[in-house]
């Protein structure tokens, strides 16, 4: 009986230690989707209306590689200020992991932002846009697609500028941060 208990304990220790303690970005999204401090939603690529824009062949190919956007936004207030700091640190730790490479840092009217890529030089698996503002909150956007080309990322932004997209579906996000 003692041997069985020892074997079970050893197996349990092996299973626990073999599991990665680092949380992936996908796991973070799922874990916080029901958090009352967060607003979470997915936007299908077709809402961007890029098919209506007059696109070059390269821009159309880039636009068609896009699948969806996952958005997670945290509105900071006096009650959840400690949770805001915790979430900010958690996101930054995930993004500092070995899976992401930083494309650029920006200072925007909202606050500080970074754009990070996951994938290799020829094929991006996802683009992550993260921004925070210590007065308003934070936003985390995952742009998911198939074989997105890093060189075509700028062309995708140009395609969105030419599209008829004027914020449909994002009204909640704007009102979320306004009040």
Instruction: Write out the DSSP string of 4-32.
Output: HHHHHHHHHHHHHHHS--SPPHHHHHHHH
- Alpha-helical (H) ranges within 19-118 are 25-32, 57-65, 81-96
Choice among 19-23, 25-29, 33-37, 45-49 with the minimum mean pLDDT: 19-23
Q: Taking the model in full, what pTM does it have?
A: 0.73
Residue pLDDT, tens place only, 36-71: 999 998 888 777 666 666 677 777 777 777 788 899
Distance (Å, whole) CA 128 – CA 69: 10
**Coil, strand, or helix at residue 171?**
helix
Q: Which residues contact 144 (CB under 8 A, 6 or more apart)?
A: 66, 67, 68, 69, 70, 125, 126
């Amino acid at each position: 009986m003692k041997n069985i208990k020892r074997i079970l304990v050893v197996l349990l220790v092996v299973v626990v230690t073999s599991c990665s303690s680092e949380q992936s970005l996908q796991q973070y999204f799922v874990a916080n989707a029901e958090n009352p401090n967060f607003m979470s939603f997915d936007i299908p690529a077709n809402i961007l209306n890029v098919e209506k824009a007059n696109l070059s062949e390269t821009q159309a190919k880039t636009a068609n590689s896009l699948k969806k956007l996952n958005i997670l936004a945290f509105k900071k207030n006096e009650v959840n200020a400690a949770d805001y700091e915790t979430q900010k640190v958690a996101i930054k730790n995930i993004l500092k992991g070995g899976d992401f490479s930083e494309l650029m840092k920006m200072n925007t009217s909202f606050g500080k932002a970074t754009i990070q890529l996951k994938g290799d030089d020829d094929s991006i698996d996802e683009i992550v846009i993260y921004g925070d503002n210590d007065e308003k909150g934070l936003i985390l956007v995952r742009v998911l697609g198939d074989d997105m080309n890093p060189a075509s990322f700028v062309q995708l932004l140009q395609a969105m500028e030419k599209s008829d997209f004027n914020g449909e579906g994002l009204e909640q996000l704007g009102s979320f941060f306004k009040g």
